[in-house]
Every structure is written in C-alpha cells, then in structure tokens.
C-alpha cells in the first residue's frame, strides 16, 4: 500500500463531551424541477468554519464578519466538491453564494441538470483535508427516493444511481 502524507497541521483535537466543534457538515443535492438545476446547499456549523478559516487562511480570518473570509471559504468548499456523470466528466458547478444563518454557514452551488443522468459520482473533501475526522453527509433529493451518502474515514468518492 502506498502511503502519502498530508495535512501538515496540528489541530487541537477537542474532547467530544460537548457539541461545539462537531466537524460535521450536511449537504443537500436537490434536483429542482422548477429551475431544472441541480442545486447544492452545503450547511457547515459556524464554529467548525470559524476554526477552519483560521487554520486554512490566516489567524485573523473571521467567518462571521469578514466578507473576504466568507468568499474565500465558499471558494474553498466549491473547489472540494465535485459531481461526475456516468462518463466520469465533472459537471460545471456555479458558485451561487453563501450566507450566515443562525449557527450555520451555508454555501450554495448549482448546475443545469444534464439530460438523462443515470447516476452521479460525488466527491466532497471540504474540511476533510483539514481534519481527517470531518464527516460530510449528503442527502440526494428530488430524483426518486432520497439517498444518503456519508463521507467519512477514507471514503473519497461515492455514487448514486437513479
């Protein structure tokens, strides 16, 4: 087995008796019949994002108040989320925007639904390159029954069929 090293970051691993830095994100991949787009809505816990931007960008990065940091984080997420069609082509995703709502930070992406999509392969590495214990859950909705994909441990690419 080939062993590569990565993540040259020492992050203080916190105890987990409290739900603070949860290192979990949940994403909805929605086939929206009205817009005929595939809409991608990533929900991060603000406190995870708060620590992430300090580790990723600079110590003074502020996800709550600084629009530049917010944009930077949204781009970071967008760069680590990929949809592939059955031919292994990645679908072009447009970064729609981002917002803070309550204790969550949202990042929005979308793409026009390619015709007759048989299935999707999804890659969701956001924060998983920073903290290996990050778990990203995806609910794929609006195309048959809801399907859940969980990016945890060593999982890098998951697939759904329609």
Q: 92 to 111, contacts with other proteins by CB under 8 A?
A: 96-97, 99-103, 106, 108, 110
What is the rounded distance in angstroms from the CA atom of residue 50 to the CA atom of residue 118? 37
Which of 5, 88, 92, 115 is close enough to bind other proteins by CB under 8 A?
A: 5
Q: Interface with other proteins includes 144 (CB under 8 A)?
A: no
- Our measurement of the distance from residue 6's CA atom to the centroid of its chain's CA atoms, rounded to an integer in Å, reads 19
Least separation in angstroms between residue 122's CB and other proteins is 10
Site for other proteins in 64-93 (CB under 8 A): 64-65, 67
Interacting residues of 58 by C-beta distance below 8 A, sequence separation 6+: none
Q: Interface with other proteins includes 115 (CB under 8 A)?
A: no
Least separation in angstroms between residue 116's CB and other proteins is 18
Residue 123 buriedness (CB in 10 A; 0-12 / 13-18 / 19+): middle
């Amino acid at each position: 087995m080939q062993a590569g090293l990565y993540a040259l970051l020492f992050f203080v691993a916190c105890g987990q008796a409290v739900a603070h830095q949860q290192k979990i994100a949940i994403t909805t991949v929605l086939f929206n019949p009205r817009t005929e787009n595939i809409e991608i809505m990533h929900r991060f816990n603000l406190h995870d994002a708060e620590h992430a931007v300090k580790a990723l960008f600079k110590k003074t990065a502020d996800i709550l108040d600084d629009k530049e940091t917010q944009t930077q984080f949204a781009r970071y997420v967008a760069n680590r989320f990929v949809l592939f069609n059955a031919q292994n082509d990645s679908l072009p995703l447009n970064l729609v925007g981002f917002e803070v709502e309550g204790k969550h930070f949202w990042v929005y992406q979308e793409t026009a639904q390619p015709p007759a999509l048989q299935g999707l392969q999804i890659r969701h590495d956001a924060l998983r390159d920073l903290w290996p214990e990050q778990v990203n859950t995806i609910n794929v909705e609006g195309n048959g029954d809801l399907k859940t994909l969980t990016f945890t441990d060593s999982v890098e690419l998951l697939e759904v069929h329609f």
